[in-house]
Amino acid sequence: MALPLYDLALSGTGIEGDQLRHLQRLVGNWQMLADLCFADLLLLAPVARDNPHRFMIIAHVRPTTGPTLYPFELVGAVVQEVERPVITRVWREEESRSDFVKSLLAGETAIGIEAKARSWCIPVRFEGEVIAVLDVESPVESGRRSGELERHYRDIFEKFSVMISDGIFPFDRDEIVLEEGARVADGVIVTNSELEIQYVSPNAVSVFHRFGIHSFLPGIKIDRLGVDKSALETARETFFPSIEEIEQGDTSVLVQAIPIVLAGKVENILVLVRDISDIRTRDRMLLSKDATIREIHHRVKNNLQTIAALLRLQSRRLESPEARAAVEESERRVRAIAIVHETLSRETSDAVEFMEIIQPLVGVVQESVFSDEQRLEFSVEGDAGVISGAIATPLAVILNELMQNAVDHGFPYHEGQVSEGKVVISIQRDEQVIEVRVSDSGIGFPLGFVMDESQGMGLSIVQTLISSELGGTISITEAGKKGAEVTLCIPIGSS
The domain that holds 138 is classified in CATH as 3.30.450.280
Same domain, 240 and 270: yes
pTM, full prediction: 0.60
What per-residue confidence (pLDDT) applies to 48? 81
Same domain, 268 and 400: no
User: Is it the case that residue 143 has pLDDT exceeding 80?
Assistant: no
Same domain, 22 and 58: yes
pLDDT band (50, 70, 90) for residue 99: very low
Same domain, 423 and 334: no
pLDDT band (50, 70, 90) for residue 88: confident
Rounded Cα distance, 198 and 152, in Å:
9
Phi-psi region of 240 (alpha: psi -120 to 50; beta: other; left: phi over 0): beta
The residue from 227, 249, 275 where one domain ends is 275
- Tens digit of pLDDT for each residue in 197-239? 889 888 888 887 776 776 677 788 887 776 778 888 888 999 9
Tally of domains within the chain: 4
Taking alpha carbons only, the member of 71, 168, 88 closest to residue 135 is 88
What per-residue confidence (pLDDT) applies to 103? 41
- Tens digit of pLDDT for each residue in 325-352? 778 777 777 777 777 777 767 766 677 7
Taking alpha carbons only, the member of 253, 228, 252, 231 closest to residue 241 is 231
Give, rounded to a whole angstrom, the gap between the first and last alpha carbons of the chain.
27
- Tens digit of pLDDT for each residue in 396-451? 888 888 888 887 777 776 666 666 788 888 888 887 888 888 888 887 776 666 66
User: Cα 297 to the chain's mean position, in Å?
Assistant: 26
Same domain, 407 and 445: yes
Q: How many residues does the chain have?
A: 495
- Tens digit of pLDDT for each residue in 473-494? 888 875 445 678 888 888 886 4
Taking alpha carbons only, the member of 365, 348, 347, 368 closest to residue 356 is 347
Q: From residue 306, how far is each of 78, 115, 276, 302, 327 by CA, in Å?
A: 72, 77, 45, 6, 14
Taking alpha carbons only, the member of 250, 249, 248 closest to residue 225 is 248
Is 119 part of any domain? yes
User: Is it the case that residue 359 has pLDDT exceeding 70?
Assistant: yes
Which own/partner pairs from 77-81 qualify as long-range (CB within 8 Å, at least 24 positions apart)?
A: 77/111, 77/112, 78/47, 78/54, 79/44, 79/54, 79/55, 79/111, 80/53, 80/54, 81/52, 81/53, 81/54, 81/55
What per-residue confidence (pLDDT) applies to 98? 42
Q: What domain range includes position 315? A: 279-349
The neighbour count for residue 144, using CB atoms within 10 Å, is 14
Mean pLDDT (the chain, rounded)? 79
Same domain, 221 and 285: no
What per-residue confidence (pLDDT) applies to 452? 65
User: Is it the case that residue 157 has pLDDT exceeding 90?
Assistant: yes
Rounded Cα distance, 467 and 490, in Å:
10
Is 118 part of any domain? yes
Rounded Cα distance, 481 and 300, in Å:
42
Average pLDDT over residues 277-290: 66
What per-residue confidence (pLDDT) applies to 32? 92
